[in-house]
Amino acid sequence: PPPAPGPGPPPPAAVERYNIFEDSKYVGNSDFRGKRFDFDPLGLAAAYPPFVPWFRECELRHGRTAMIAVLGFVATDFMRIPGDMYSFDAIPKTIDIHDALLKTGPMYQLLLWIGLWDLLVTAPATKAMGDGFREPGDYGWRWFAPASKDGFDTKRDAELKNGRLAMIALGGIATQSIITGHGFPYV
């Protein structure tokens, strides 16, 4: 009979998966009632731990943009900047502003300025974040920031929730504007 094989290599150690919801530096895993809400249905945080700061940076960036966009969408139903090209006579409905301003040119300026911002501010900030010199979303503008860490975390949590709500609201506003053809209150 052949000799019995040896004990063989030890079984591989269990790989512990990263859980962003257990990481104290990432706030935002609570719902509007203050209850715990761990939402990562695709498991991206566990699958790509090095990219978690980038994911958070993108969430904050899109949330901030959406908050401004919701304000702008509603405001342009009531007032416009001076100039005939922007008047209610030239563009009666807010939903038509994008296409009208593409034809006349101002949207290209907007693209240029956003591109310049991304080149001069976002790219170095993202590199600094990747190197560990800053937290996601922190551009160092803390004039109105609370002094305590708990107060600051509460503000960060509120910003995330407001940004998430604004991202959903913007989709709803645009959809209702197209379906109904009306401005604010979009019914």
Lowest mean pLDDT among 16-20, 127-131, 153-157: 16-20
**Most confident stretch, 17-31, 136-150, 160-174:** 160-174
Report the SS3 class of residue 136. Answer: coil
Q: What is the pLDDT of residues 90-122, one digit of tens each?
A: 988 888 888 888 898 889 999 999 999 999 988
Torsion sign over Cα 61, 67, 69, 72: negative
CB crowding 38-49: b at 16 or more within 10 Å, else e: eeeeeeebeeee
Q: What is the pLDDT of residues 143-164, one digit of tens each?
A: 888 888 888 888 888 999 999 9
Torsion sign over Cα 133, 138, 140, 143: negative
Would you place residue 62 in the very low, low, confident or very high pLDDT band (cuts 50, 70, 90)? very high
Please state, rounded to an integer, the average pLDDT across all residues of the chain: 86
Write the CB contacts of 154 (distance below 8 Å, at least 6 apart in sequence). 146
Q: Half-sphere exposure of residue 53, counting CA atoms within 13 Å on the CB side?
A: 16
